[in-house]
Amino acid sequence: MDQIHLMKVFVAVGEEESFAAASRRIDLSPAAVTRAIAALEGELGVKLLARTTRNVRLTEAGRRYLDDTRNILASITEANEAAAGVNAAPKGHLSVTASVLFGRTFVTPCIVRYLQDFPEVDVTAFFLDRVVNMVEEGVDVAVRIGHLPDSSLKALRVGQVRRLMVASPEYLAKHGVPEHPADLLTHTVISSTGLSPRVDWKFGAADDPATVRMKPRLTVTSNDAAVAAAVAGLGVARLLSYQIGEELASGRLTTILAAYEETPWPVHVLHRESKYGSSKVRHFIDMLAEHLRTHPHLL
């Protein structure tokens, strides 16, 4: 029998855990489903399903084969659609995630333009100051700031940001300018859990960092609150350069301890697509990457 046909029948049985349900799902007779599974197991020389009078369950080999087969069938479908041009016009639902300030400042304008260009697409944007699990939460595209752990996600580097220590000119005039990271121990510190949940702050190059354990006077859960507190003159905050571009340009905030600045953090666009990908994801990534790579705050 045709290998692809056998795989499709097996996926239906494995997902439904029932020959009868799989038969209805793929519109084949129960006898044809049974013959297909028997032919597949005979060809592979391994038992994929354990059958009883009441139910059907996957063996350990069957579970592994089900995952592999799903991926193979998905790749075939995507390749066929790409070749046939089905994906030429983006449509459907797209989900995107980024941190709150980054999403509002950089991603939202791109989403608006994308929706205007492609009227058959709907977008849900999750702007949260936490890392969203793209696989578990079903997100198509994410923007991540910082060094990435190894994963199966596809990553496209689109820029970088600096991690800066800042305070208002009024605060520095009143309390003095820190000359060394250890001087921060005598200053009022504002900590944002969205940026750095730890109170141990590292300074300098990654291969020779200096660590200072802080005791924040104010801890907030959003970066925009930390920006507002620093501008108001409460104390010293550690923020990413894109979050305070306007405040630095207007003089409402001033950078300090520049000699101890960390290596810039990379900015990546992440997605879960295969090498073919869907049109809605491809078009959005292309648009977002072009937008971010040319933005002066991310160079």
| C-beta of residue 287 within 8 angstroms of C-beta of residue 112 | no
Whether pTM > 0.85 for this model: the answer is: no
**Parts of the chain with a pLDDT under 50:** none
- Give the per-residue pLDDT at 80: 75
- Give the per-residue pLDDT at 297: 84
**pLDDT digits over 272-283, tens only?**
766 556 788 889
Q: Which domains are delineated in the chain?
A: 3-84 (1.10.10.10), 89-161+265-298 (3.40.190.10), 163-260 (3.40.190.10)
Tally of CB atoms within 10 A around 230 = 26
β-pairing, 218-220 vs 236-240, is unpaired
**pLDDT digits over 163-209, tens only?**
999 999 999 999 999 999 999 999 999 998 755 556 788 888 666 67
- Give the per-residue pLDDT at 199: 76
Q: Please report, for residues 175, 178, 194, 200, 228, the alpha-carbon distance to residue 211 in angstroms, rounded to integers and kept in the order given.
A: 22, 15, 19, 6, 26
